[in-house]
Every structure is written in C-alpha cells, then in structure tokens.
C-alpha cells in the first residue's frame, strides 16, 4: 500500500482537566462524535501540559482545557506552544480569551457549567470549517472527486490521480492539461472507475483559482452565458466534493459566494418563472448540482413574483439552494420527502436513511459557519424538508414556525418535484396551484401561495 500516511490528518487531542471525571467525559464526547478511538493525551494541570508541548513539540489537532482563573498569560503561553491546534477553553469568563479573538488562533470559550453540551457543538463547528480534520481526513492525503466536472475546469491547476487496486495513487492528468469529456469516459468505462483524486494539499490553491475564474468570467464583456453557467455548475460540484472531505474552509466558502454572485448576475434582477419551468424539463448532468441550481432560480423567480425583489433576498435564496443538499452524496436521496415512506419502501439502507435524516441539519451547520452570512440562510436550509402540516423532517415543524423565506423555499422545491413527477404532462403554474391548493392553506404558506397565484406583490 502506498503512503496514505496518517501524518497530516492524524487526529491527536490534548485534554487538560483537574478532575478525572471531566477528563473522561470530554474524551468520551469527542470519541462518540468521531465514532472511533482517538489518540488522546491528558494532563491535570496547564503548566504540565505547557511543559509537555514545549519539550515534545508534538502537534495536536485540538486542545481542550479547563481554566477557571482569570489569568490570561497562561492561556497565551499555551496557545503559543500549541502551534496550529484549535482550542476549546472551558472556564468561567469569556474575558480570558478576548485578547486572542482578534488573532488567527481558532479558540472558542465554553462555560464550565454547560461544557458537556457545548463541546460537541464546537468540535462540529471546527470540523465543518476545516479547523480540525474531519473523520476521513485522517485516512488519506488525497480527496476523491467526481469525474463529471473535470472537462469544464479548463487547464488543470493540479495533477489528477487515480487509485490502483493495491491502494497506490498514480497521476492520470497533469497540471496544465485540458481534459476532454471523451478521455474521462474512456477511463470510467475501460477501467471501471468512479472517482479521480486530487492531492489534499492542492485543494486550497484549486479552490482559490476557481473563485478567481468565476470572478473573471462574470466580469467579461460580452458575457458568455453558457460558459458562465458551466463554470458555476463545475464550481458547485467541486465545493460539494471538498466540503464533504475537508470541511467548509474559507476558500470553499469563497467559491460558493462567488457562484451565488455569478448566478444572480446571470439571472438578472427580474427572474421569470415561465422560462425557468421550461428549463426544468430539459435539465441533465449531476442531479444534485442541477437541482440546486434550479431551485435557486425557481425560488428567486417566485420571490420576484410576490414582490420580494431585493438583491439580499436573491442572495439568501440562491446561497441556501446551493447549500441545502450539500451533505448528500447521491441524487436519489435528495428526492425523499418523508423518512417514514423512504424507510417503508425498502429502497434505502440504514446509513442512507440516516444521511437523509441528518442532511438538513448538517447543511445548516455549514451555513452557520460562514462569516457574514445572514442567519436566514441557515433557517431556510434547516427547514427545507419541513412541511406545513408538520409531517416534514428533521423536526416536524408546524407551519407557524416557518420563516417567510423558508416557506417560499419549500414551495419552490415542491414545484420542482411536481414538474419532475409530471415530466411528460404539460406542467403549468396553474396545474401546480390547483394541485396544491389545500396543502398551502395556512399562515405564511397561504399568504405566499395566494400572492403567487394572483401575481400580487406581498411586501
Ligand atoms: Fe434536501
Ligand atoms: Fe433538495
């Protein structure tokens, strides 16, 4: 087996707590988050831990420590010695880390009284933002990528690898190569491959290049719409691959944001539903990406129709649609609207059902981790499989608790599903409205639905 060494992604954790009980509970919490054994080093006081870091120079992914006094200097020393670790301080006063908040150090404070509930949330946040390795990251120096979007990447910014049966990775396309669709197909069919690989260390640069590309394509005059649409779609595919394996790093976030800006520019300020409905019938390519792009357009066109025409609204809806199914790996999981029905159908494994159940919450975590993104986006994502009659998931939310944008998003996704189910029939907005009249008959759903129907602005 080749050197898929654990060196860079190995999860090493340092815990410093005065009481054994706390140590064990925190260690258990982190292990159950990762669902496997984690290498943990423990100390009962901070000075010993600092001395250990100084002497051993051992790199830790995460240092969780207790510090109940108000002294800042000992925390500073620990942070200096901890190198590139992420830190969770369990203490009594947030003031202790105030001075560190402006630095690049990933450090979060949790109150000692609520630490057992808070630590898993912080670990999750660190993980989704790439500040500590995700589970799979500890296993390989390569990340897998779906082959569909390689041809639209232009000259490659990094070497693409394939994995041989014995585990070795070998290069298939070099840096600077432009990959033809035919070449990819030959590989997939001839060698029965499903994935290619990038080196993990190349991803930061690749994502940076992607966001630059998007920016320049969209600023070009005249705008090449087909090329821009293809670039947005390829960018989303790459973000999906990277986020699942490395977390939603700042570079991946930038690509998502630039994809949103590009889409809004392509859509214009007056997106119309009628044209989009036609497009819906003819979409192809990766289902999840096509679905996410389409949902953004439909949601914005609906917003426009009812008079919610601000750029901020379009931004929130488009970003939410790009993120909402990002935690899913397979298009067939995205069309499930009821966990009970899916479980009863026998078509899904227990793992797939779990993936479906958790995907909205996970995607909401990604949205929350983005800097300077309004919390509306997180709510839309979290609520996208809820239903007005309370039969949705993950929470079975009643209609009263939907935010207006979430309600609109749910209707938009329903329209897409409806037109997919009735693919061969003539789908007009009117047939959809008739079919769903009783479904959207309460609260904010009723208001939105009525104004969509009557074309009246709902300001
Ligand atoms: Fe979904
Ligand atoms: Fe979806």
Question: Checking DSSP bridges between strand 142-145 and strand 86-91, what pairing results, if any?
Answer: unpaired
pLDDT at residue 87 tops 90: yes
> Quick one: which of 280, 188, 289, 197 has its CA closest to 234?
289
Task: For residue 339, give the ligand nearest its CA.
Answer: 1
Average pLDDT, integer, range 343-366:
90
Judged by its nearest atom, the ligand closest to the C-alpha of residue 294 is 2
Residue burial 45-78, b: 16+ Cβ < 10 Å; e: rest: ebeebbebbeeeeeebbbbbbbbeeeeeeebbeb
Of 117, 321, 167, give the one whose Cα is nearest residue 236: 321
What value does the mean pLDDT take over residues 112-127? 89
Task: Tell how far the Cα of 292 is from the centroid of ligand 2, in angstroms.
Answer: 7
What pLDDT does residue 456 have?
63
395-403 contact pairs (CB < 8 A, 24+):
399/442, 399/443, 399/444, 399/445, 400/443, 402/443, 402/444, 402/445, 403/376, 403/379
Output the pLDDT for position 458: 62
Position 171 confidence tier, pLDDT thresholds 50, 70, 90: very high
Residue 2: pLDDT above 50? no
| pLDDT value at 10 more than 70 | no
Distance between Cα 369 and ligand 2 center (Å) = 20
Domains in the chain, ordered, with CATH? Answer: 12-138 (3.40.50.2300), 269-459 (1.10.3210.10)
Average pLDDT (175-189) is 86
Q: Is pLDDT above 60 for 136?
A: no
Cα–Cα–Cα angle for 191, 197, 201, rounded to 5 degrees: 160
Average pLDDT over residues 312-334: 93
Determine the distance separating the centroid of ligand 1 and the alpha carbon of 127, expressed in angstroms: 21
Report the C-alpha gap between 444 and 404 in whole angstroms.
Answer: 6
Q: Per DSSP, what are the bridge partners of residue 144?
A: 197
* Beta strand pairing call for 142-145 and 196-199: antiparallel
- Which whole number is the average pLDDT over 373-397? 94
Q: What is the pLDDT of residue 363?
A: 94
pLDDT at 194 over 80: no
Average pLDDT for the chain: 86
pLDDT for position 53: 93
pLDDT of residue 148: 78
Gap from CA of 240 to ligand 2 centroid (Å) = 14
Between 154 and 348, the more confident residue is 348
Rounded CA separation 244/326 (Å): 8
How many CB atoms within 10 Å of residue 314? 25
Determine the pLDDT at residue 66. 95
Hey, is 245 helix, strand or coil? helix
Q: Where are the alpha helices (DSSP H) in 220-349?
A: 225-246, 250-267, 273-281, 287-305, 311-323, 331-334, 339-345
Average pLDDT over residues 151-157: 83
Question: Could you tell me how far CA 405 lies from the centroid of its own chain?
Answer: 19
**Backbone phi, then psi, for 371, in 5-degree steps?**
-80, 145
* Average confidence (pLDDT) over 80-91: 91
Residue 426 confidence class, pLDDT cut points 50, 70, 90: low
Residue 290, pLDDT score: 87
Q: Is residue 281 predicted with pLDDT exceeding 70? A: no
> What's the whole-number mean pLDDT along residues 432-438?
93
Kindly give the distance from the C-alpha atom of residue 360 to the centroid of ligand 1, in angstroms, as a whole number.
Answer: 6
Evaluate whether 62 touches 89 at the Cβ level (below 8 Å). Answer: no
Contact between residue 31 and residue 6 where contact means Cβ atoms under 8 Å apart: no
* Distance from the alpha carbon of residue 385 to the mean position of ligand 1, in angstroms: 6
Cα 294 to ligand 1 centroid, rounded to whole Å: 13
Question: Beta-strand (E) ranges in 154-214?
Answer: 160-163, 169-173, 196-199
Q: Which two tokens stand for residue 384?
A: 């996208």
Q: Can you give the pLDDT at residue 1? A: 32
Distance 194 CA to ligand 1 centre (A): 24
Q: For position 280, what pLDDT does the model report?
A: 65
Which one of the ligands is nearest to 384 CA? 1
| Interval between CA 42 and ligand 1 midpoint (Å) | 40
Q: Provide mean pLDDT across the span 423-429.
A: 71
Q: In angstroms, what is the span from residue 293 Cα to ligand 1's centroid?
A: 13
Q: Give the per-residue pLDDT at 173.
A: 92
DSSP one-letter string for 95-162: HHHHTTTTSS--EEEEETTTHHHHHHHHHHHHHHTTSS--GGGGG-SEEEE-GGGGGGG-S-SS-EEE
Give percent above pLDDT 70 in the chain.
Answer: 91
Rg (CA), the chain: 24
Residue 111 bridge partners (DSSP)? 91
For residue range 245-275, what is the model confidence (pLDDT) as tens digits?
888 988 999 999 999 999 999 988 888 887 7
- Answer whether residue 200 shows pLDDT above 80: yes
Q: Is the pLDDT of residue 459 over 60?
A: no
Query: What pLDDT score does 139 carry?
Result: 59
Query: If you search the block for the tokens 């227990």, which residue do you land on?
Result: 350
**356 CA → ligand 1 middle, Å:** 7
What residues does the ion ligand 1 have nearby, CB within 5 Å? 325
What number is the average pLDDT over the span 384-407?
Answer: 94
**Rounded average pLDDT over 113-141:** 79
């Amino acid at each position: 087996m080749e050197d898929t060494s654990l060196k860079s992604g190995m999860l090493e954790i340092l815990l410093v707590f005065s009481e054994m009980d706390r140590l064990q509970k925190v260690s258990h919490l982190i292990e159950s988050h990762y669902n496997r054994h984690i290498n943990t080093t423990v100390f009962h006081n901070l000075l010993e831990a600092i001395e250990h870091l100084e002497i051993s120079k051992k790199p830790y992914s995460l240092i969780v420590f207790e510090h109940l006094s108000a002294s800042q200097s000992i925390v500073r020393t620990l942070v200096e010695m901890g190198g590139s670790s992420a830190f969770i301080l369990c203490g009594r006063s947030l003031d202790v880390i105030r001075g560190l908040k402006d630095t690049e150090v990933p450090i979060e404070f949790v109150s000692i009284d609520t630490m057992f509930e808070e630590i898993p949330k912080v670990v999750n946040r660190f993980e989704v933002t790439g500040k500590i390795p995700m589970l799979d990251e500890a296993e390989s120096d390569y990340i897998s990528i779906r082959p569909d979007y390689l041809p639209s990447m232009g000259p490659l910014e990094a070497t693409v690898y394939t994995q041989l049966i014995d585990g070795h990775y070998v290069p298939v396309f070099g840096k600077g190569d432009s990959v033809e669709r035919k070449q990819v197909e030959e590989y997939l069919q001839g060698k029965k491959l499903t994935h290619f690989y990038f080196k993990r260390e190349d991803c930061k640069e690749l994502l940076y290049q992607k966001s630059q590309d998007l920016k320049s394509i969209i600023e070009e005059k005249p705008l090449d719409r087909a090329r821009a649409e293809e670039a947005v779609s390829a960018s989303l595919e790459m973000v999906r691959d990277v986020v699942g394996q490395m977390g939603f790093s700042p570079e991946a976030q930038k690509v998502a944001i630039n994809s949103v800006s590009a889409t809004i520019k392509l859509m214009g300020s007056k997106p119309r539903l009628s044209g989009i409905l036609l497009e819906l019938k003819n979409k192809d390519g990766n289902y999840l990406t096509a679905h996410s792009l389409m949902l953004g357009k439909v949601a914005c066109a609906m917003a426009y129709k009812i008079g919610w025409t601000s750029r901020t609204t379009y931004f929130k809806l488009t970003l939410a649609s790009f993120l909402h199914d990002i935690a899913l790996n397979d298009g067939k999981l995205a069309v499930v609207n009821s966990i009970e029905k899916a479980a009863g159908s026998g078509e899904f494994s227990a793992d797939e059902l779990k993936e479906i159940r958790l995907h909205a919450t996970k995607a909401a975590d990604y949205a929350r981790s983005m800097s300077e993104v309004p919390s509306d986006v997180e709510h839309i994502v979290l609520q996208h499989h809820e239903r007005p009659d309370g039969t949705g998931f993950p929470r079975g939310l009643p209609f009263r608790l939907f935010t207006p944008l979430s309600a609109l998003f749910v209707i938009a996704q329903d329209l897409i599903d409806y037109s997919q189910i009735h693919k061969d029939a003539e789908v007009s907005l009117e047939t959809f409205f008739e079919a769903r009249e009783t479904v959207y008959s309460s609260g904010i759903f009723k208001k939105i639905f009525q104004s969509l129907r009557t074309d009246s602005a709902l300001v």
